[in-house]
Structure 1
């Protein structure tokens, strides 16, 4: 490894699995000191033990105070925060727009969009003080074009891209870069769960790709390292699409989400409580 992130302190949400865990391992190998944040306390703590230069703080990203606490943990422990990765995610509400439950809708946006706002807000407070920093958020090809994800998920990911551009315009004069990564279908535990098996997930990801090969979390992690490094010091307000050409070459849309009976995939966030 080139250790492109030597000396950096990075906070990663949703770090216990999937793209977040891959990013943690790759950033650690590149020299970064890590703070891992996740609602999965066992998984997050286990990964922190695996990586010698990492600590863990349990965080429900749908709760602003908990995101603020994670940022404060990083700053108090290490004296600074160089990179914030807003990665936590779920599939959330799915099914026809005619049947989508409002509580499931709000729960999806709480995890996928509100959390990014909280992450940018509180990381930026620390970074503006130190006059440097990099904020990265996970968008999706579903945030670039319609029809590739459930309605709430698609809405949230469009919002992430818009917020990335807007925040970048304010924070650039303070030396803070703000970018997003928009992966295509990536073979994570979330996708495996949705497809029923790893084999099915690999097949679906390959079938959705004009290049004919599945996109893996490690490839998204490599892009995050690039954007966090000095190699990307003049890159801001940008959404890096990593989709094997799906958004320009075309792929089968996700009718699977719209045609299924309405439901919710993932852990209901603490910020949204069902009263019925």
Structure 2
């Protein structure tokens, strides 16, 4: 897929680690200028350094997707610097605390839904008007297999990712005639810092996660990144409103 995004400007939220970092690097590899945003300066700046070290271009803008003022500022900086936004990967998210539905705290519920669902909505709210000016764009949102099938003890996370899928489908229908495609990726069990926190160093927990995957292993952030690149590119020009599982067959069981 060499050069499929040459000359494009792409925004990646949650780009300081995991799937966000891998995707930012893959998008830059394909020729895009990548705007990396994250709440953690160190991670975001490190991703930018890796992009530049590999010969790519971009910038880092710190921001919290759960704060409307931050998102508005980020998109404003993108427009001021580049004058356009061709693609956006709305990836930032958190897992929250683990607990059964009746024991999930209101604080945890509100925080997870605010970051994972409201954050995606806020990003699209400010990305779409900029894309409308150029009558073209591609948005990819990070959902999860947890938005397609149930998992115990993470009710807020499940609800937030199911919401991302429905929000994706809604926006895809609303802006299809404007040349803006909106899709979601639904990662399975991917070896990221989030999964490592779930595992907590337990070999037994790791084995349980691996056992969920029919392919017999966890996925890598780079494997999700390749799906993101494809959805952003013109190779996926007839794909919109899709929630694409990249999951080693997990939801096929």
Normalising by the residue count of structure 2, what TM-score does the alignment of the two structures yield? 0.94
Deviation at residue 201 of structure 1 after TM alignment: 7.2
- 1:198 Cα deviation after fit: 9.2
Give the SS at the match of 2:97: strand
The answer as to whether partners of 2:113 and 2:156 remain within 8 angstroms in 1 is yes
Matched, 1:231 2:231: no
Q: Distance in 1 between matches of 2:111 and 2:196?
A: 22
* Structure 1 residue 240, shift from structure 2 partner: 0.6
Looking at both structures, which has the greater relative contact order when contacts are Cα pairs under 8 Å and sequence separation is at least 6?
1
Aligned partner of 1:194 in structure 2 is: 198
The answer for unaligned runs of 5 or more in structure 1 is 250-276
1:247-267 per-residue CA deviation (whole Å, 9 max, x = no partner) reads 121xxxxxxxxxxxxxxxxxx
TM normalised by structure 1 equals 0.86
Contact 2:132 2:178 in 1 (8 A): yes
Partner in structure 2 of residue 30 of structure 1: 30
Equivalenced residue count is: 249
Q: Is the 8 A contact 2:86 2:131 kept in 1?
A: yes
8 Å Cα contact 2:139/2:182 also seen in 1? yes
Corresponding residue number in structure 2 for 1:69: 73
The answer for the alignment partner of 1:45 in structure 2 is: 45
Alpha-carbon distance in 1 for matches of 2:208, 2:28: 30
Partner of 1:109: 113
Secondary structure in 1 matching 2:7: coil
Give the equivalent residue in structure 2 for 1:273.
Answer: none
Structure whose residues are more often helix by fraction: 2
Instruction: Give the equivalent residue in structure 2 for 1:129.
Output: 133
The answer to whether the 8 A contact 2:192-2:220 is kept is yes
**1-side partners of 2:153 and 2:11: how far apart?**
27
* Match 2:248 to one of 207, 227, 244: 244
1:125-164 matched pairs, under 5 angstroms? 125-147=129-151, 150-164=154-168
